[in-house]
Structure 1
Amino acid sequence: MSLKATALPNPSVSQERPVTNDPVQGGRQFAFLLVDKFSMFSLAAAIDTFRSANRLLGRDFYGWTTVSADGDPVMASNGLPLKIDYSVADLPPVDILFVSVGLTTEFPGKSKVLAALRSWGRRGNALGALSVGSYLLAEAGQLDGYRCTIHWENRAGFVERFPDINCTGNVFEIDRKRYTCAGGTTSIDLMLEIVRGDFGSNLANGVANQFQHERIRSAGDRQRVGPERDLTGKSEKLRRIVELMADHLDEPLSAVQLAKSAGLSVRQVERLFLRHLNVTPGRYYMRLRLERARELLRQTNMPILDVAIATGFTSHSYFAQSYRLQFGRPPSEERRTTY
């Protein structure tokens, strides 16, 4: 769909309080700034939400376009090339400029992209990010003073690198003119919130039904992080203990403290873990700490000793030994690996 760079009149379509103050009657235009290895799934989920809304509306209310550093085609993480409509220098006015990157935030033309994001933000324009795209917004200084989110797998590295930014663990966040989501199916939820703000819940629900999207999540819904995938349908007390473990990776809690938090004895906690997860609490806790260490090694430049300390290890040698046992390689080799 071609982009129409037009001024938009005041809103009167929505029957509910809109999620933004942007006008909606004349149509809305979005741009997606892509770099090599971007997530095709996250992009398609976002765009198809607007396509389906247009279909149910019976008119092309939502428009979209693609952007890259130089206007050249980009390759998605699944190997598919994508034709690009504009370079960052030629992008006409749009309602929101979304950023989508891959697992690495280093790429050719990065300086141009960061400069464009800063310029866009200085002019008071709205910016958004799908998944790891929040990294680029943060690097460009466009999340300072804003609430945001990022995919759970990248959150630890993001928080270490940008400790002053309020990065939640929610599926998406809308904070004034900043729109961020965790990627994947949360791209649908974020775009449905925009649709809901423009036209109300009936249209948003209709789009969700087209996708067989069982439940539209709200900004307050938490992401299902790694450990929680093990806990679907499990004991509530088990879930509480695992959440407590995940919140105390740098200073691990004792078995007695964990048991007390759930109103159980140490032996009862052991039986709970063995029955539901087939592992002892100590081994499960160690796995969480080492998985966090791997995230930090892959996503930050923290010295290995600092990574060890940040995940509750007081001995570098014990950390290295535990890491090798868990992942089959030492931390130093993990740091050299590019993903």
Structure 2
Amino acid sequence: MSQLPEPARARPGRKPPRVEPAGPVRVGFVLVPDFPLMAYTAAVEPLRAANTLSGCPLYEWWHAAPGGGAVRASNGVTILTDVEVGSAREAERVFVCAGGNPAGFEDPALFAWLRELARRGATIGGISGGPYLMARAGLLDGRRCTLHWEHVPAFEERYPGLDVVRSLYEIAGDRVTCSGGIAALDLMLHLIEADHGPGLAAGVSDWFLHNQIREGLSPQRMDLRQRFGVRDPRLLRVLAAMEANLEAPLSREALAELARVSVRQLERLFRALLGRGLHRHYLDLRLDRAHQLRRESALEASEIAAATGFTSADELSRAERRRRRPAAVASVSSGRS
């Protein structure tokens, strides 16, 4: 079984020993149509920089995609692949990069190939929505994993037995999962450090003007203070409780008790600091989650309603229509003016 090496650590006061590489680490990138280009480039570019800065071919890589040929990213850029799915091409590490709606992707040949690569000793990784496909292939059973926060709700509904965390990346033996975006850069810097020491990893980080290498357990999203631009600790406690309780929404009274204010005071806080009422904010959180689940899962309408705190699919549908109605009214009014 392929295991990722631990980062080399030098003794205090001593220069790290120079270890000549036995040969380039071979890395495969499996790009699924509509893959996120930023996440892919954040993963492959550090390998190129490591080769350039070291003056040695420390890494080499290849690309594959379902169906072969050119594969299109979500922004329209295409990458020409050079390996057929199912080929005997070797790699120490293979990363699946996917975006869009990974829940709707079905390719038994690709899943079988990933399992075969794992049996041959490759470390299998997933970037952004890639872990979804690893789970579809049965490669995450018993492993802690992460993926982009947007995919997490649907993923947890489909795979309730998997240990999902909202970290930047997770390394669980010969399985690696990454939330995507520029977190892929932090992951690759960690792997470069493990392979060739902290000096090269720091050099690559500097190369990309990345002045802080983040740990894998760092959170994916900004904290609530940054996201909403509020500092009031009472409101922050309530916002965190709302996001954690979408399936069984808390009452206004329970939220006010959490904030240690009256319901009327809490309503005033919401309107003063967020420009909207408590009920409107909570409802929008639940409707946004429902939209994610509808787009990224095969759940029935009734199951989506239950997962977002609605008593029925009809109630959810009515709430969605009411949210769309102000935009439609504004559009009509604008056309008449």
1:293 correspondence with 2:290: yes
Offset of residue 158 of structure 1 = 0.7
Q: 2:51, 2:58 within 8 Å by CA — same for their partners in 1?
A: yes
Offset of residue 162 of structure 1 = 1.0
Aligned to 2:147: 150
Distance in 2 separating the partners of 1:312 and 1:229: 27
1:31 to 15, 28, 31: 28
Q: 1:313, 1:319 within 8 Å by CA — same for their partners in 2?
A: yes
Offset of residue 68 of structure 1 = 2.0
Q: Which has the larger radius of gyration?
A: 2
1:87 correspondence with 2:81: no
Identity over aligned pairs, percent: 36
Q: 1:15, 1:199 within 8 Å by CA — same for their partners in 2?
A: no
Aligned to 1:267: 264
2:119 to 119, 122, 145: 122
Moved more, 112-121 or 288-297: 112-121
The residue correspondences of 1:40-51 to structure 2 (distance < 5 A) are: 40-51=37-48
Deviations 1:148-176 (A, max 9, x none): 11111111111111111112111111111
Q: 1:11, 1:25 within 8 Å by CA — same for their partners in 2?
A: no
Q: Aligned pair in 2 of structure 1 residues 232, 178: CA closer, same or farther (>3 Å)?
A: farther
Q: 2:7, 2:198 within 8 Å by CA — same for their partners in 1?
A: no
Distance in 1 separating the partners of 2:242 and 2:143: 28
Distance in 2 separating the partners of 1:91 and 1:126: 15
2:52 to 44, 52, 55: 55
Deviations 1:162-212 (A, max 9, x none): 111112111111111111111111111111111222233333233222222
Distance in 1 separating the partners of 2:35 and 2:293: 21
Q: 1:67, 1:91 within 8 Å by CA — same for their partners in 2?
A: no
The residue correspondences of 1:95-244 to structure 2 (distance < 5 A) are: 95-105=92-102, 106=104, 110-224=107-221, 230-232=227-229, 234-244=231-241
1:14 to 8, 14, 21: 8
Q: Aligned pair in 2 of structure 1 residues 267, 197: CA closer, same or farther (>3 Å)?
A: farther
Distance in 2 separating the partners of 1:177 and 1:232: 40
* Structure 2 residues without counterparts, runs of 5 or longer: 12-19, 327-337
Distance in 1 separating the partners of 2:209 and 2:276: 35
Offset of residue 102 of structure 1 = 2.9
Distance in 1 separating the partners of 2:132 and 2:205: 28
Moved more, 130-139 or 197-206: 197-206
Q: What is the SS of the residue equivalent to 1:174?
A: strand
Distance in 2 separating the partners of 1:16 and 1:85: 39
- Total equivalences in the alignment: 315
Aligned to 2:313: 316
Q: 1:33, 1:68 within 8 Å by CA — same for their partners in 2?
A: yes
Offset of residue 28 of structure 1 = 1.5
Distance in 1 separating the partners of 2:59 and 2:51: 6
Q: Aligned pair in 2 of structure 1 residues 241, 157: CA closer, same or farther (>3 Å)?
A: same
Q: 2:225, 2:231 within 8 Å by CA — same for their partners in 1?
A: no
RMSD value, Cα? 2.8
TM-score scaled by length of structure 1: 0.84
Q: Aligned pair in 2 of structure 1 residues 202, 270: CA closer, same or farther (>3 Å)?
A: farther
Q: What is the SS of the residue equivalent to 2:57?
A: coil
* Structure 1 residues without counterparts, runs of 5 or longer: 1-7, 18-22, 330-339
Q: What is the SS of the residue equivalent to 1:322?
A: helix
Aligned to 2:73: 76
Q: What is the SS of the residue equivalent to 1:100?
A: strand
Offset of residue 214 of structure 1 = 4.2
Offset of residue 94 of structure 1 = 1.1
Q: 1:234, 1:276 within 8 Å by CA — same for their partners in 2?
A: no
Moved more, 253-262 or 176-185: 253-262
Offset of residue 328 of structure 1 = 5.6
Q: 1:245, 1:252 within 8 Å by CA — same for their partners in 2?
A: yes
Q: What is the SS of the residue equivalent to 1:86?
A: coil
TM-score scaled by length of structure 2: 0.84
